[in-house]
Amino acid sequence: MCRRAVFALFLALLLGGCSGGAELQPLGPDDVVLAFGDSLTWGTGAGREASYPAVLQALIGRRVINAGVPGEETDGGLARLPELLEAHRPALVIISHGGNDMLRRRDPAQTEANLRAMVSLAHESGAGVVLVAVPEPRITMSSPDFYAGVAADYDLVLEDSAWRYILRRNQLKSDPIHPNAEGYRHFAEVMAELLEAAGAVGY
């Protein structure tokens, strides 16, 4: 099977794990997307030029701001988000956060509460939200149920398969918990397809 066909199957499998009912407002050509998270957003293992926000920006033709901070927990993210919303006025916020809470065994209820507060802040600023589930650092690499709960309660577009798929494949990783450049590109391509399917962008 050729690489294009393999990746088409990859996308079909991953997008099958995205919430299908929620939609996003179309992004105008000058609208800003805020990619908010930790090292998976920053691009650890490949560098910011190969990070998923950098690749996504090229794919969707909108400015995508890399607001990832390696090592950050959701407490720190929640404290940091208001200033970013005020400074950039994004039309869409992609939230991929919580991995460091899991690594440091923080209370899952507090992680969920912080994610809910982030979503509320983004909505109050007028931005749409895509929530990205992060897998637990276990053999199964499953994501905590609270991601789906938050998405359901706020009627969010949820991506809950891509990081798990990537981080279970050595050829897409730079270390046990971070993708390499190819892994980040795969993630960006999944996100671009998701944004198109949800109505945010068209080609």
- Residues 59-83: pLDDT tens digits? 999 999 999 999 999 999 999 999 9
Residue at 183 is within a domain? yes
Residues 6+ apart with CB under 8 A from 172: 166, 179, 180, 182, 183, 186
Looking up residue 151, the CATH number of its domain turns out to be 3.40.50.1110
Residue at 202 is within a domain? no
Beta-strand relationship, 32-37 and 92-96: parallel
Residue at 24 is within a domain? no
Residue from 90, 82, 101 nearest 39 by CA: 101
- How are strands ordered across the β-sheet holding 92-96? 63-68, 32-37, 92-96, 128-132, 157-159
Indicate the pLDDT class of residue 139, thresholds 50, 70 and 90: confident
Beta-strand relationship, 173-175 and 178-179: antiparallel
- CA–CA dist 44, 50 (Å, integer): 9
Residue from 116, 120, 77 nearest 100 by CA: 77
Q: What is the pTM of this model?
A: 0.90
Q: How many Cα neighbours within 13 Å face the side chain of 50?
A: 15
Structural domain of 168: 3-19+29-197
3-state secondary structure of 110: helix
Residue at 34 is within a domain? yes
Residue at 155 is within a domain? yes
Q: Which residues pair with 131 in a beta bridge?
A: 95, 158
Residue at 178 is within a domain? yes
pLDDT in tens, 22-35: 899 999 999 999 99
**Total domains present in the chain:** 1
Residue at 10 is within a domain? yes
pLDDT of residue 72: 98
Position 19, amino acid: S
pLDDT of residue 22: 82
- CA–CA dist 52, 44 (Å, integer): 10
pLDDT of residue 155: 97
Residue at 203 is within a domain? no
